[in-house]
Structure 1
Amino acid sequence: MKKKPPYRVLVIDDSAFIRQFLKEIINQTDELEVIATASDPLIAIEILKKTPVDVITLDVEMPNMDGLDFLRYLMKFRPLPVVMISSWTQDNSDIAVQALSLGAVDIVAKPTLGIRSGMEERKEEIIKKISMAAQAKVNRFPLPVEPVGASLLPPVHQGPTITTDKIIVIGASTGGTVALTEICRELHPNVPGILIVQHLPAMFTPSFSTSLNQIARIQVKEAADGDRITPGLALVVPGGNNLTVRKNGAKYIVKTGPRLPHSIYNPSINHTLHSVAKVAGVNAMGIILTGMGDDGAAGLKEMREKGAYTIAQDEKSSVIYGMPKKAWENEAASKQVPLSKIAQEIHRWAGIKN
């Protein structure tokens, strides 16, 4: 049987050490091979004109053109999977979220101290994310825009003054930030309360929540312990934490907790879905979006068994058809839906007419 050729990697970083380090660890694998490196995006553009490339690693701060400007150019003229590898901090985490919204498949944080030892510790994460990204489907991404007439939109729900007996839970991983942006942009202001479980490191979920709040007609915020689930409000589970839903009379309350020692995913989609299945039953809707792995399949299965309406994103519109595939094969999802139709499916289930 003929061996599959390795995925071709282009490394773009202004640090000679990072370029050499990435080249060495990538070339130690059988499935990846660095075919070129570039110290800035302008050099990378020239390489791309004459060299076939399957996946790119990209820094943000570089001479001549920064990483975000290059990403905009790339996604407009030659879309390719990109893993952002940069020195993210709490202060610039919004740049990482912006990179994901522009079409980057994933992000890796460079260490801010002890660069060599820190990069050594991240070797496995880097290889895993590049390998996964190389298999992703990437389309041309239009530049993010504000909703037309945003200032004239109905006011969002500002506080937990209304109770609801319906809950929507959306789980996502790789490619999920873009998918969630598209869904939230279309949601009606009176949609039932939503929980969003997106696999993201803790430093990025506040910025991601803010970015969703800016484009949506509903209110979006990072979940805090004790928050109520109410119409017109979406709560994003904090990175590195987990969220359990509890019933208090007619109200649904969220309980945030630490990492689960038995789970490789934190936040865990399964954990939240299992809790919703127990307290909401037929009054819940579960959605699994694009992502690698199987997180969410078991929890969605329990939701369906308790009478909830469950769907998964279809293969064609998924960046990575991993989690939705598992949910479908596991008979956890009753239906597969294209990304462009998911908001419409939510409205139909909730009885909302646009």
Structure 2
Amino acid sequence: MIEVLVVDDSAFMRKLISDFINSTPGMRVKDTARNGKIAYEKLQKTSFDVVTLDMEMPEMNGLETLKKIMKNCPLPVIIVSSDTQEGAALTVRAMEEGAVDVVAKPSGAISLDLHTVKDELLYKIQAAANATTNREEKENSISKKERMHGERKKTLMNQKKLLAIGTSTGGPKALQAVLPRLKKDFSAPILIVQHMPPGFTRSLAERLNQLSDIAVKEAEHGELVQPGTAYICPGGKQMKAKMIGRSLSVEVLDDPPYNGHAPSVDVLLRSLLSLSDYSIAGLIMTGMGSDGAEGMALLKEKKDSLVLVESKKTAIVYGMPKSVKERLEVDATLDLDEIAPYLNMHF
């Protein structure tokens, strides 16, 4: 039984979220709290499996609450927040601090139409219950260097290279561990699919851009991609790569979800198969489900490519990397802190 603490300053929102959870077999709301201060006090006295946390609350907001939770009693937290500019920015900061996922309130702080994201919320609570928080690095640096040296044996052949990254639950924090550590003269464009609701990916891109030597931005339809720039697919859209003459561009489309996902890693990866002049490195990091496995298998079969996955040891949720490894032989399995050095060697 997944036991949940629901935190929101709106009594209506607490009731609605609780009703969704309590009507689902295998999970129940063990308690609720109207602000972060009360929530933190309850966490000191009672154990929970997952917390759903509003961002904009009196006395102690969601970000302050999350920092205290992660420092003193770490457990999986899902942000349930409005996608206003302020709410999105706070949510991105919260995911840096360790929140595993976000669900957007469809119409503001008090959303009468919250039922439209009911299935997403319940799915993410299930994923969060399987997440790992507060991991510690255990492997010594010598063995890492040895493995990194061994993995460098395979290289991409074409002069033109592209990096594609797919991630979901826990992804914003993983991206923050990778992109800011890439060298400034990174020699390839980077296309990123992060499962995230509409309204949040722009704030994510802006925050990562502040932290990184490379440029990071939310992708725009029709723009030509440049080496040393990362393009994040907008939430709720699909992103594909397309050649325009001899230049590479991105399409940002209102296509329907693919296998339940918009954006979809598989949609992006399948579009890369037509790039005849490019070698592709595909990287799948933390996330629930199997998005990306189909596309990675096609890359491995049809392209000059490197297939990379995050290790079970560091993935907050090991579902997406695991599904790739079960489907094909990967070129490298890397701990989170190994990924940027590995990429810097190959680009």
Q: TM-score range by the shorter chain?
A: 0.7 to 0.9
TM-score scaled to structure 1, two decimals? 0.85
Alignment of 1:275-354 (within 5 A): 275-280=271-276, 283-305=279-301, 306-331=303-328, 333-350=330-347
Q: What does residue 233 of structure 1 align with?
A: 229
Q: Secondary structure at the match of 1:92?
A: helix
Q: What does residue 257 of structure 1 align with?
A: 253
Q: Give 1:295 deviation, angstroms.
A: 0.8
Q: Give 1:117 deviation, angstroms.
A: 4.1
1:72 aligns with 2:67: yes
Q: 1:211 to 1:56 in 2, by over 3 A?
A: same
Q: Secondary structure at the match of 1:122?
A: helix
Q: Deviations over 1:143-192 (max 9, x none)?
A: xxxxxxxxxxxxxxxxxxxxx71101111111111101110110001112
1:89 aligns with 2:77: no
Question: Quick one: distance in 2 between partners of 1:223 and 1:18?
Answer: 33
Contact 2:184 2:214 in 1 (8 A): yes
Q: Give 1:220 deviation, angstroms.
A: 0.9
Question: Quick one: distance in 2 between partners of 1:225 and 1:111?
Answer: 24
Question: Quick one: distance in 2 between partners of 1:66 and 1:261?
Answer: 33
- Name the amino acid aligned to 1:323: M
Question: Quick one: distance in 2 between partners of 1:185 and 1:15?
Answer: 37
Stretches of structure 1 that go unaligned for 5 or more consecutive residues are 1-5, 142-163
Q: What does residue 100 of structure 1 align with?
A: 95
Contact 1:281 1:308 in 2 (8 A): no
Q: Secondary structure at the match of 2:18?
A: helix
Q: Give 1:113 deviation, angstroms.
A: 6.6
Greater relative contact order structure (CA < 8 Å, 6+ sep): 2
Q: Deviations over 1:10-47 (max 9, x none)?
A: 11122222222222321222211222211222222222
- Name the amino acid aligned to 2:231: L
Question: Quick one: distance in 2 between partners of 1:209 and 1:167?
Answer: 19
Contact 2:83 2:108 in 1 (8 A): no
Q: Give 1:294 deviation, angstroms.
A: 0.9
Between 1:313-322 and 1:60-69, the stretch displaced more is 60-69
Alignment of 1:72-221 (within 5 A): 72-112=67-107, 115=110, 117-139=112-134, 165-191=160-186, 192-221=188-217
Question: Quick one: distance in 1 between partners of 2:334 and 2:111?
Answer: 44
Q: Give 1:226 deviation, angstroms.
A: 2.5
Between 1:216-225 and 1:108-117, the stretch displaced more is 108-117
Task: Give the superposed CA RMSD.
Answer: 2.1
Question: Quick one: distance in 2 between partners of 1:76 and 1:114?
Answer: 27
Q: 1:262 to 1:221 in 2, by over 3 A?
A: closer
Q: Give 1:49 deviation, angstroms.
A: 1.8
Count matched residues.
323
Q: Secondary structure at the match of 1:168?
A: strand
Stretches of structure 2 that go unaligned for 5 or more consecutive residues are 137-158
Q: Give 1:334 deviation, angstroms.
A: 2.4
Q: Secondary structure at the match of 1:256?
A: strand
Contact 1:290 1:324 in 2 (8 A): yes
Q: What does residue 269 of structure 1 align with?
A: 265
Q: Give 1:212 deviation, angstroms.
A: 0.9
Q: Give 1:321 deviation, angstroms.
A: 0.6
Q: Deviations over 1:200-229 (max 9, x none)?
A: 122111111111110000011111222223
Q: What does residue 149 of structure 2 align with?
A: none
1:22 aligns with 2:17: yes
Q: Give 1:278 deviation, angstroms.
A: 2.5
Q: Secondary structure at the match of 1:200?
A: coil
TM-score scaled to structure 2, two decimals? 0.87
Identity %: 39
Q: What does residue 142 of structure 2 align with?
A: none
Q: Give 1:347 deviation, angstroms.
A: 1.4
Between 1:246-255 and 1:298-307, the stretch displaced more is 246-255
Question: Quick one: distance in 2 between partners of 1:203 and 1:281?
Answer: 34
Question: Quick one: distance in 1 between partners of 2:66 and 2:26?
Answer: 24
Q: Secondary structure at the match of 1:254?
A: strand
Q: 1:88 to 1:244 in 2, by over 3 A?
A: closer
- Name the amino acid aligned to 1:131: Q
Contact 1:300 1:333 in 2 (8 A): no
